[in-house]
Structure 1
Amino acid sequence: MTFTSLGLSEPLARAVADLGYDAPTPIQREAIPAVLRGRDVWASARTGSGKTAAFVLPLLQALSEHPGRAPKQIRALVLVPTRELAAQISEAIGRYGRHLPRPLKTCLAVGGVSANPQMMALRGGADLVVATPGRALDLAKQNALRLSSVETLVLDEADRLLSLGFTDELTRLLALLPARRQNLLFSATFPRAVQTLAAQLLHEPVRLSVEASAPPADSQQAQSTIEQRVIEVDTDKRTPLLRRLLETHAWSHVLVFVASRHGADHVTLKLNRAGIPAAALHGELSQGARTQALADFQAQRVKVLVATDVASRGLDIAQLPAVVNYDLPRSTVDYLHRIGRTGRAGQAGVAISFVTASTEAHFRLIERRHHLALPRERIAGLEPTESAPPALDPHGGVKGKRKSKKDKLREAAAAAAAQGPKRKS
């Protein structure tokens, strides 16, 4: 099957050929014809499955074949959870649409930077707007983003949109859209909140799942192109262990995941002091700083990017040889998203997880959820000495330490006996 056989025009097929796409991925084979037919689509598609092209390519074709009628309006709105993913989709639109006979106007609307340039860019309307919900709502309030003529709405990483607290913004944005429109919803997982949103948003949708025809791309990578390693280490020895790995492996650049902004800044500072060029990437940085950190990492001007889960979805970092889970992800789903940053496009990669005594139980849960059984390693000189915390009793207290009812009754009886018989007054 080819992209042309899916119904895409010659300019779009030529663009994907220029990019080295030999054949459509499973999600592209299913989604592109459905979107071209104007159907609502509800797709299960993980990062790395080719989902961006699955909705961008047919969207570009529809917009180029049917010019808009209303001036100063927005024809298609793509909402995503992070600024980095928004920028990546905007860049993909430019690459896929490079051969179209009529250039399409695309605007990027994200927070962390001044809204004024974005407001200027939206003058006269746009064919496509790629936005984060908060900034889209701000621009709509200022009448810079007019949504009454939107023909297609795309929610990408819908589960992430809802988990990051965008529910209120989404509700208010949906109220500004026309009732008749095409809706495309892409989500890696389908928790109850996503199912509720889909029921409210979609009309007789085409349900798609890459699992129906092939395993999710991240899962395939986890089983084939990605070598997964687990190293046991004490909590306070994780930074020395990271330095040891960086010194002993010839990695060109490494993505390190941590749990918090403070952790990202702390590890970055320690690496730079050790002479290892590193940059932090987290949600508290300005958009300019985030963009610069990512650009420096992709250009290999810094060796290590220390990031929170803002980098676990959507980011496509070319030929990344290694990912390190300095902290384990809170969500078991995010484990595959994290390690899926390496081993992409058939390249080999390694994903290393640091497991401490206190996180061993959580990593066993990750293994069970993803059907893994990974051997534990120890590095000479950095062997762990910490002990696992005692298991908690499900009724409260520490298992084995909480007094039973019988123990309490015995103690009460002993106390009463020690006081002797009470005198009658």
Structure 2
Amino acid sequence: MDHSIENLIDNIYNSKTKQYFQEVVQTYYSNCFRSSIVMLYSVVICDLIFKLEDLRDIYNDSTAKKILLEIEVLQKENPRSPDWENKLIEMIQSRTKLLEIPDLESINQLHKHRHLSAHPVLNQTSILYQPNKETVKAHIKNILEGVLTKPPIFSARIFQDLIVDLATNKDRFVTDDELSRFLNAKYFKGLRMETFKDIFKKLWKFVFKLENDEADQNREINFKTLEIIFRKNQPNILEMLRTEETHFNEITPGICTDHFFNLLFRNPKIYPVLSELNKQNIGIEILASQEYKLMSWFVYDSFDDYAINIISAFDDSPRFFISDNKYLNILNLYKEFDKKTEFINLLNLIYFKSNSFDSADYNYRRLESFLSDYSADQLIRLLEIVNSNGQISGRGQAVYSNRMIKEECEKKLPADFDYRKYYHFRT
């Protein structure tokens, strides 16, 4: 049995199924291929029952509940007959989306070989069918991929179940790690890549395109889920973004665009694979918003390139105030790249661009904890900033903050430094 199959065995969804499957493995390695086929089919039937029970008990699925009740009746009416197994497959095929068409075909082919392996045929040279090693191996791989490694919800219905679950439980998850553990345990374990991509595409629409009360209420939890899916399947999602780029165009302005910039800021590898139309619209947003301009490191060739050029990008820009969440994101970004000196330059810029007394107070509190790390040149630039912006120098807290700045200046600037030309710098 090759390495890929061993990995699939590790991913069997149900623990009882995994335990039963060991007998399939043992008979296969013992070259008892007929027994392996018979046992494999029995494991499939057990696994389908377990999945229906999960749908009934965990997801309160009424269809699964009815199927299990009908199967129980069939077994009681004729306990020695295996007909209920066939009925089980028929009911799952006609009433649920538990299995996809290729997976049902794999089960049907396995059922034929199981019947030949378990029941003598008198009019043939070999009374019992003897499958070869490659046939058994193919059955094992098909059943593992299509049935045993799948959670009990899939494809067409998984997205609706997921969306409702997220909306109901969104306040339960204090951290992204808690949400990730929940998603992996309940939804993502054993999920096919095609299904991941389908969920990602639908969430993209909910987060970045839809504007209504329901979308607004659940946008944050849906955004976090979309990001978790991306990070879990990064190469495949990037390839989908590249090859299906038109599906991901037309980001709605406002709150949708705000979340879109957050996604790019936190996951810069997405930007290069976006369509030219998307990139053009991103450029327009950057020109229109000072906050987006500060967040736009993902459009540069490297973080160093961004850190060098971002200050000059604001030369002719109007004053602005950056919100707390965006400020903290940028602070953490500079920390990640260990660029304290460059961040202090950015703090000076943000302080310089203060657009009100209140924003100047707020921006000073942001830089105050970094004052001890300021270089002499950065302190001189800070003096120039105070002197040139009336919203900074004219506010009520100016004298206090200027004294703190001067204390640091006296430690790092020459003793004969002339403060007189900074005539708005009052202490």
Coarse TM-score class (shorter-chain normalised): under 0.3
Higher relative contact order (CA closer than 8 Å, sequence separation 6+): 1
- Structure number with the higher strand fraction is 1
Q: Normalising to structure 2: TM-score of the pair?
A: 0.24
Higher radius of gyration, 1 or 2? 2
Q: Normalising to structure 1: TM-score of the pair?
A: 0.24
- Structure number with the higher helix fraction is 2
